[in-house]
């Protein structure tokens, strides 16, 4: 191997190790600090789930992807002009003793706050879990 080839190989190895270290740090903060070390009643969320919102004349439909979360581990409530969806998504039992190789699916404590239209009164009319999707119907009031 020529010295210039060795330099290129070393730089690539260094770059790969730095990327891996960044992923490990992110995952550690998300999994360890974000879920295990927060007080049980903490309002801080470890991660925020994605949502889709559909607006109709009578309601807003909020669809949140939460596969792996259990309905009894999710709190949904209105606070002033915000819808708050909070809870936990636990580590699956199969993985409790393993080593993290790739960890891209967020786990632990989550919280999502959606600002609603100021001045419009909403009530939570219906919620359901369907194939990992949390579906919330917010009805417009007077």
CATH annotation of 3-140? 2.60.40.790
* DSSP assigned state of 30: I
Question: DSSP for 91-132?
Answer: PPGGGTTS--S---S--EEEEEEEEPPTT--EEEEEEEEETT
What's residue 47's pLDDT? Answer: 85
Q: Is 34 a residue whose pLDDT tops 50?
A: no
**pLDDT digits over 61-118, tens only?**
999 999 989 999 999 999 988 999 999 998 888 887 877 777 788 888 999 999 988 8
Using pLDDT thresholds of 50, 70 and 90, give the confidence band for residue 39.
very low
Q: Report the candidate in 18, 49, 61 with the shortest Cα–Cα distance to residue 113.
A: 49
**pLDDT digits over 43-62, tens only?**
555 888 999 999 999 899 99
What's residue 18's pLDDT? Answer: 75
Residue ranges per structural domain of the chain: 3-140
What's residue 38's pLDDT? Answer: 40
């Amino acid at each position: 191997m020529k010295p210039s080839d060795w330099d290129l190989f070393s730089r690539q190895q260094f770059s790969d190790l730095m990327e891996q270290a960044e992923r490990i740090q992110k995952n550690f903060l998300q999994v360890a600090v974000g879920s295990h070390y927060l007080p049980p009643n903490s309002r801080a969320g470890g991660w925020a789930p994605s949502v889709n919102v559909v607006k109709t004349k009578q309601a807003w439909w909020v669809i949140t992807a939460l596969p792996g979360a259990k309905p009894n581990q999710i709190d949904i409530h209105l606070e002033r002009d915000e819808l708050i969806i909070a809870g936990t998504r636990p580590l699956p039992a199969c993985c409790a003793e393993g080593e993290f190789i790739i960890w891209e699916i967020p786990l632990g404590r989550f919280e999502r706050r959606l600002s609603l239209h100021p001045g419009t009164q909403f009530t939570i009319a219906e919620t359901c879990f369907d194939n990992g999707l949390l579906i919330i119907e917010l009805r417009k009031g007077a």
